Amino acid sequence: MKRDFLELSDFTAAEHAALFRRARELKEARRRGEVVSTLAGRTLLLLFEKHSTRTRLSFEAAIGQLGGSAVTLPMQDSQISRGESLADTGAVASRYVDAIMYRTFGDDRLRELARAATVPVINGLSDGGHPVQLLADLFTVEERLGSLGGKVVTWVGDGASNMALSWIEAARLFEFTLRISAPEGFRPIRGSGFELVADPREAVRGADVVTTDVWISMGQEKEAAARRKAFAGYCVDEALLSRAKPSAIVLHCLPAHRGEEISAGVIDGPRSAVLDEAENRMHVQKALLEALILRR
């Protein structure tokens, strides 16, 4: 029976731990120059409804380095753009490929494709979350700081964004403290798994990890001026970061707008783990592809 990865909770905490162990093995194997061919002869479809740099590069590199191949299909080049249903696309594509990564807007579209596909479907980003990015983020925290247990992670910025929602899901699974600092009107719906701290200076105090994302995501360009005004004071700059632990690291899923949600001095500074975080997308996705395609 096929298995999808549409949100973090599709895997248990133990299964995530196994993914991270395998990701470490695969990262070390690449460092040593070893060839790993566990997915030789396998094909991954990358279906894009939104623009992408890291998602496309990291998935294409991941399947390729494991001996497989990727077919990258922007939505505008597919028959979906001319009215073909997602259900038909998913059913037909399943006859050609071994897994599908879908980067889309609404989660209803993601789940429609997943229901029709008979091969694993991976959420490459949707309005409701960005679970593959969170895999990389959590792996990077473990790599830099050790166990996630007992750590304090502070999210600064849009608390209703897909990244913030995935951090909330992660906090429930991995049992770390998550603080969300966002202006009114951009806060998550009340729920479990996080603490809401309106003042970013208090939210960052004593944090082990400080993370943020752009204030204006794809599809929100018309709201740019209003968003910049709302998020004034929520920039992760040197003054804000000084309130975190001296050992704290900074994460950002990229692309970044230096001088808006994060300062150049922070994202390019010694406490930034952003480049490791970006690289780790590839390693954790290798482990994820193995788990889904080989049913490990």
Residues classed as catalytic: 103, 130, 133, 213, 253, 281
Angstrom distance (rounded) from CA 140 to CA 83: 40
Closest to 60 (Cα-Cα) out of 45, 38, 81:
45
Name the amino acid, one letter, at 30: R
Q: CA dist 17 to 30, 51, 99, 147, 293, Å? A: 20, 30, 22, 10, 18
Do 37 and 29 form a contact (C-beta atoms < 8 A)? no
Do 220 and 140 form a contact (C-beta atoms < 8 A)? no
b/e for 36-75, b at 16 or more Cβ within 10 A?
A: eebbeebbbbbbbbbebebbbebbbbbbebbebebeebbb
The dihedrals phi and psi of 250, each to the nearest 5 degrees, come to: -115, 135
The tokens describing 56, both together, are: 């496309």
Residue 267: enclosing H or E segment and its boundaries? helix 264-267
Return the residue matching tokens 């008979």: 118
Angle CA(206)–CA(209)–CA(213) in degrees, nearest 5? 125
The tokens describing 193, both together, are: 């798994």
The residues, any chain, with a CB within 8 Å of residue 90's CB and separated by 6 or more, are 100, 112, 113, 114, 115, 116, 117, 121
